[in-house]
Chain A
Amino acid sequence: MPSFDAVNYSLRPSKSIQRQLVFEGVRRLQVAMNLAKLVYVGMGSIWFTDFVMAHKLLGVEDMVSIEGNEIGFRRATYNSPFVTVKVREGFSSAVLPTLYVDEFYANRPWMVWLDYDYELNESVKLDMRSVIENCPENSIFLVTFDGKDSRYGEAPERPELLRRVLGSVVPDDLKKEACQEGEMRETLADLVLEFMGSVAAEMSRRGGFVPAFRAIYQDGPPMVTVGGVLPALDNELIAKSTVGADDWPCWPLEPIRAPHLTIREAGALQSQLPCQRKLSRVDVQALGFDLEEQQVEAFQNYYRQYPAFAQIIA
Chain B
Amino acid sequence: MTIEAGTKAHAYPTKEFFVKMLTRDLALSDCILDLIDNSVDGAWRSMGGGPTELKQDDGLSRFSIAISVGPNGFSIEDNCGGMNLDDAVNYAFSFGKPEEYKRDPYSIGAYGIGMKRAIFKLGAHIRIRSTYRASGGEREAFAVPIDVNEWLSTSEPPWDFDIVPDSELAEDGVRIQIDALTPEAEGQFGSEAFRQNLRRILARDYSLYLDRGLRIVLNDSPIVGWQIALREGADFAPMRFAYDDSANENAVNVEIIGGMAASPPAPDAAEPEDQAERARGAELFGWYVVCNGRIVLAADRTEATGWGTDDWPMWHPQYAGFIGVILFSAENAVALPLTTTKRSIDSSSEVFRRAKPRMRELTRKWIDYTNQRKQALEDAKQKEQEAHWIPIHSVSLRQSVQLPELIARESEPVANVQYSVPLQRMRSLARKFGSVNLPYREVGLRSFNYAYREKVGEE
Contact = CB atoms under 8 A, between A and B. Distances in A.
A202 B306 CA distance: 11
Given A1-B459, A168-B310, A204 B354 contact: yes
B98 interface: no
Contact of B353 (A94, A123, A204): A204
A52 to B, nearest CB: 27
A222 B351 CA distance: 40
A134 interface: yes
Nearest to A167: B310
Interface in B305-361: 310-311, 350-351, 353-354, 356-357, 361
A1 B457 CA distance: 11
B399 A202 contact: no
Interface residues of A, number: 21
Given A126-B311, A167-B310, A167-B311, A203 B413 contact: no
Contacts of A281: none
Contact of A68 (B351, B411, B413): B411
A168 B310 CA distance: 8
Contact of A123 (B310, B351, B357, B413): B413
Contacts of B413: 93, 122-123, 126
A131 B350 CA distance: 19
Contacts of B311: 125-126, 129, 167
A202 B459 contact: no
A291 B411 CA distance: 47
A204 B412 contact: no
A171 interface: no
Given A101-B399, A129-B311, A204-B350, A134 B357 contact: yes
A203 B412 contact: no
Nearest to A91: B411
Contacts of B411: 68, 90-91, 93-94
Interface string B388-432: 000000000001100000000001110000000000000000000
Nearest to B399: A101
A122 B412 CA distance: 10
Nearest to A68: B411
A205 B353 CA distance: 9
B353 A202 contact: yes
A24 interface: no
A93 B399 CA distance: 17
B414 to A, nearest CB: 10
A202 B353 CA distance: 7
Given A91-B411, A94-B411, A126-B311, A203 B353 contact: yes
Interface in A132-153: 133-134
Residues of B in contact with A, size category: 10 to 19
Contacts of A93: 411-413
Interface string A80-106: 000000000011011001000100000
B335 to A, nearest CB: 13
Interface in A99-130: 101, 122-123, 125-126, 129
Contacts of B350: 204
Given A1-B459, A167-B310, A91 B412 contact: yes
Interface string A279-312: 0000000000000000000000000000000000
A131 to B, nearest CB: 11
A82 B186 CA distance: 78
Contacts of A134: 357
A151 to B, nearest CB: 11
A123 B399 contact: no
A9 B399 CA distance: 39
Residue of A90, A101, A133, A203 with most chain B CB atoms under a 10 A cut-off: A203
Contacts of B412: 68, 91, 93, 123
A133 B353 contact: no
Contacts of A204: 350-351, 353-354
A122 B350 CA distance: 27
Nearest to A195: B310
Contact of B357 (A94, A168, A203): A203
A168 B309 CA distance: 10
Contacts of A101: 399-400
B357 to A, nearest CB: 4
A164 B459 CA distance: 24
A49 B411 CA distance: 26
Contacts of B357: 129, 133-134, 203
Contacts of B354: 203-205
Given A93-B411, A94-B411, A203 B399 contact: no
Contacts of B353: 202-204
A167 B310 CA distance: 6
A122 B414 CA distance: 10
A101 to B, nearest CB: 5
A203 B399 CA distance: 20
B171 to A, nearest CB: 44
A94 B310 CA distance: 20
Contacts of B399: 101
B459 to A, nearest CB: 7
| Closest CB pairs A-B (n = 10) | A133-B357, A204-B350, A204-B353, A91-B411, A94-B411, A167-B310, A123-B413, A203-B353, A91-B412, A204-B354
18 contacts: A1-B459, A68-B411, A91-B412, A93-B411, A93-B413, A97-B361, A97-B400, A101-B399, A123-B412, A134-B357, A167-B310, A167-B311, A168-B310, A202-B353, A203-B353, A203-B354, A203-B356, A204-B351
Given A91-B412, A202-B353, A203-B353, 4 more contacts: A97-B361, A125-B311, A129-B311, A129-B357
